[in-house]
Structure 1
Amino acid sequence: MARVVESKKACTVNPLKMSQPLGASFAFLGLDACMPVMHGSQGCTSFGLVLLVRHFKEAIPLQTTAMNEVTSILGGYDNIEAALLNIRKRAAPKLIAICSTGLTETKGDDVDGYIATVRKRKPELDDTEIVYVSTPDYVGAFEDGFQHAITAIVKTLVKPLPVVANQITLLPGSHLSPGDIDELREIVQAFGLDPIVLPDISGSLDGHIPPDWRGTTLGGTTLDDIRRAGASAFTLGVGEQTREGAEALQAISGTPLEIFERLTGLEVNDRLLQRLSQISGRPVPARYRRQRSQLLDAMLDGHFYTGGVKVAIGAEPDLLLAVGGLLHEMGAELRCCVSTTKSAAHALLPAQEVLLGDLEDLEAGGADCDLLITHSHGRQAAARLDKPFLRIGFPVFDRVGNAHRVQVGYRGTMNLIFEIANLMIERIAHHHVGDWPLTPEARRAATHIATSTEAPDTTTLASASA
């Protein structure tokens, strides 16, 4: 169990964490025909919008109630009413999702009361669902906002229904990409099960060219699918952040649940396939047995470059556990772990300590490490330290293809192992071979592989590393 320590610095330098309203907006972007709205100033929304656009390289629908100095003091009812009416008139969404910000939370706006009043005064909004979630940005982080948004969606829209035996609800964490969700959907469907993914960013943020432009999200979980979640026979959550939403579903419809702390790694995916086999009554398909064998081979090939490596990693709790857990299984040492918010996931991390801090803390802790892992804002620290740098999480704005990156399941785990191993091979070939943590014999063999086009002598390398 990792000990959690909070930074006591007077200020944050090069922030690691993103805000709760941004995390909630990200969750709402996974709902079809939805318009996310930040109840706050225009600047709050603009900053989040820039991060989302740069990460996904897509047009992002995100609106604001545009609070100013006067309305921040007197209250934001008029701004919410105007925003709801304008959005309905211009974009005609099926769902408007509102999340608060630090500005309106400090004022103490009663948004639930505002929405009830608007519905009485403006019957033209009767055909539009409205979801509200409280997400003050002065506490918590991106993952917390995502978590609370899922819970708000469930509590507002899901009602109990007769159980459909082959239907399950899949709650993905905010650390999963559209490609990850597609991979998990394919795995679930291979067992003859019908998954309802909530929220489903693989339908709205997967980088497709839409046939039309509606001004709202173009794909994702539909309102009908959200309501159908009340009939699911089981709920699968990926990441501790999904537990609150899964328990809300259980309270509404009695749906049994299981939360997988991560789905990057060998044992956790074994457990997932066993659970799906139990739910469906079907054996594990042959292709996943083959993929498991391929992952084992990838772990054997990759451990020569990860064994003994000292890693500094900064990420949201569930992503930190997913990547850090895999690296630990591959023989790496989690020397420096920095995260953003408190979470039960930290108790499962195979490290001595987790610091709730910033990228300055990561840079200081990574000085004697071999590999830095965090989002794109850590690239300057990696350059200053002259360390290999793996970009994960949100935002990654200096690379393309983030929507299609897969790091879950047997195949996704294998992809991540290769990505890390190739980074370390490049380090061996072009930088300081002498400070590598392997034995001299293994180092010579690894250097030969990195610099030669000949087929490697894996027997020599294996015996040298033993």
Structure 2
Amino acid sequence: MANVVESKKACTVNPLKMSQPLGASLAFLGLDSCMPVMHGSQGCTSFGLVLLVRHFKEAIPLQTTAMNEVTTILGGYENIEAALLNIRKRASPKLIAICSTGLTETKGDDVNGFLALARQKHPELADTEIIYVSTPDYVGAFEDGFKHAITGIVKSLVKPLPPVQDQVTLLPGSHLSPGDIDELRETIEAFGLKAIVLPDVSGSLDGHIPPDWRGTTLGGTSLDEIRAAGASSWTIGVGEQTREGAEALQAISGAPFEIFERLTGIEANDRLLMRLSQHSGRPVPAKYRRQRSQLLDAMLDGHFYTGGMTVAIGAEPDLLLAIGALLHEMGAELRCCISTTQSASHALLPAEAVLLGDLEDLEQGAKDCDLIVTHAHGRQAAQRLGKPLLRMGFPVFDRIGNAHRVQVGYRGTMNLIFEIANLMIEQIPHHHEGDWPLTPEARRAAMTRSGTAQATPPNPLAEASA
């Protein structure tokens, strides 16, 4: 269990975290025919829009209520009213999703009251669903905004329905890519189950050329699917950030839920497949037994280059746990862990401490490490230190293909191990001859320290597939 420490610096230098409104906007982008709106100044929205466009390399629909000095003081009702009417007229969305910013939260705008008044004055808004989520950017981080958006969507749009046994709801965390969601959907459907993904960025931000153009999101979870989530017999949450949404869904529909803190690694995916087998009454498909054996071989091959290495990671809590726990299982030492916000995930991290800090803290802690793991804003620190950088998280704007990276499931874990090992292989010429890869004795010592020096882990799928 990691000890969580908050930075006491007077100011943030080279920020690691992204804001709550940006995290909420990403969640809203996973809803079909939706227009996300930030209730704040144009600059708040423009900054977030640039990061989303650069990360996904796609056109991003994101609007603003364009608050200025006067409207901030007097109140933002007129701006919200104008935004709703203009968006409805020009883009005809089925859903308008509004998130607050620090500007309007500090003023104390009663946005729910504004929305009720706007609907009363403009009956034409009756055919458009409107939801609001409070996401002040002076507290929390990207993951918190995504969490609150999921909860807001569930509470606003999901209604109780007669249960459908073969339907499950998947709540993905903000750290999952469109490719990750596709992988999980395929896994669920392999057991004869139907998955409603909420929100589903794999339909809207997966890097496809659409057959038409709208001013709203193109693909994602439809309104009908969101409402149908009230009939799901089980909810799967990926990441601690989905717990709040899963609890809200259970309160509405009565469906039980299970949170998978990560789906990177052997044990977590074993547990997912076992639970899917139990819920569906079907055996685990043979292809997953094959993938599991491939992952074990990849771990055997990769640990020659990861065993005993030291790592510095800067990431949102659920991503920090997913990557950090896998590296620990591969024999690495998590020497420096920097995160953005409080989370129950930190208690599961196999490290001595987690610092809620910034990229300056990461750079200082990474001086004696072999590998740095963080998003693209950490590239200058890695260059200054002369350390390899594994780009993970949001944003990654200096690489393409972010939407299609798969790092969950057996195959995704295998891909990640290969990526890390190959990155370390590139550093071999920079090490003294004989220092790298590790000798068997040094590797065994490193694996003993990390608790991975054991025989091949038992395979629960064998019995489940018999």
In the superposition, the TM-score normalised over structure 1's length comes to 0.94
Structure 2 unaligned segments of length 5 or more: list them: 443-466
8 Å CA contact 1:51–1:395 kept in 2: the answer is yes
- Whole-angstrom CA distance in 1 between matches of 2:131 and 2:392: 30
In structure 2, give the amino acid aligned to 1:63: Q
- Whole-angstrom CA distance in 2 between matches of 1:157 and 1:287: 37
8 Å CA contact 1:236–1:260 kept in 2: the answer is yes
Aligned to 1:331: 331
Alignment of 1:301-450 (within 5 A): 301-428=301-428, 430-434=429-433, 436=435, 439=438
Aligned to 1:458: none
In structure 1, give the amino acid aligned to 2:408: V
Show CA shifts across 1:330-350 (max 9, x none): 000000000000000000000
SS of the residue 1:126 aligns to: helix
Aligned to 2:67: 67
In structure 2, give the amino acid aligned to 1:139: V
8 Å CA contact 1:158–1:226 kept in 2: the answer is yes
Show CA shifts across 1:176-212 (max 9, x none): 0000000000000000000000000000000000011
The alignment covers a number of residue pairs equal to 443
8 Å CA contact 1:427–1:433 kept in 2: the answer is no
Shift of 1:427: 0.4
SS of the residue 1:10 aligns to: coil
RMSD: 1.2
Shift of 1:79: 0.2
8 Å CA contact 1:308–1:437 kept in 2: the answer is no
- Whole-angstrom CA distance in 1 between matches of 2:435 and 2:66: 54
Aligned to 1:113: 113
Shift of 1:426: 0.7
8 Å CA contact 2:166–2:194 kept in 1: the answer is yes
8 Å CA contact 1:56–1:403 kept in 2: the answer is yes
Aligned: 1:36 with 2:30 = no
SS of the residue 2:426 aligns to: helix
Shift of 1:432: 1.9
In structure 2, give the amino acid aligned to 1:432: H
Aligned to 2:450: none
Q: Detail structure 1 runs of 4+ shifted over 6 Å in the superposition.
A: none
- Whole-angstrom CA distance in 2 between matches of 1:363 and 1:7: 14
Aligned to 2:274: 274
Shift of 1:134: 0.1
8 Å CA contact 2:146–2:174 kept in 1: the answer is yes
8 Å CA contact 2:307–2:438 kept in 1: the answer is no
Change (3 A) 1:277 1:108: same
Alignment of 1:260-271 (within 5 A): 260-271=260-271
Alignment of 1:62-211 (within 5 A): 62-211=62-211
SS of the residue 2:127 aligns to: coil
In structure 1, give the amino acid aligned to 2:88: R
Shift of 1:392: 0.3
SS of the residue 1:174 aligns to: coil
Shift of 1:434: 4.8
Shift of 1:431: 1.3
In structure 1, give the amino acid aligned to 2:332: A
Show CA shifts across 1:291-347 (max 9, x none): 000000000000000000000000000000000000000000000000000000000
Structure 1 unaligned segments of length 5 or more: list them: 444-466
- Whole-angstrom CA distance in 2 between matches of 1:435 and 1:151: 53
In structure 1, give the amino acid aligned to 2:349: L
Show CA shifts across 1:27-57 (max 9, x none): 0000000000000000000000000000000
SS of the residue 1:18 aligns to: coil
Show CA shifts across 1:261-281 (max 9, x none): 000000000000000001100
- Whole-angstrom CA distance in 1 between matches of 2:434 and 2:334: 18
Aligned to 2:231: 231
8 Å CA contact 2:308–2:438 kept in 1: the answer is no
SS of the residue 1:373 aligns to: strand
- Whole-angstrom CA distance in 1 between matches of 2:15 and 2:438: 37
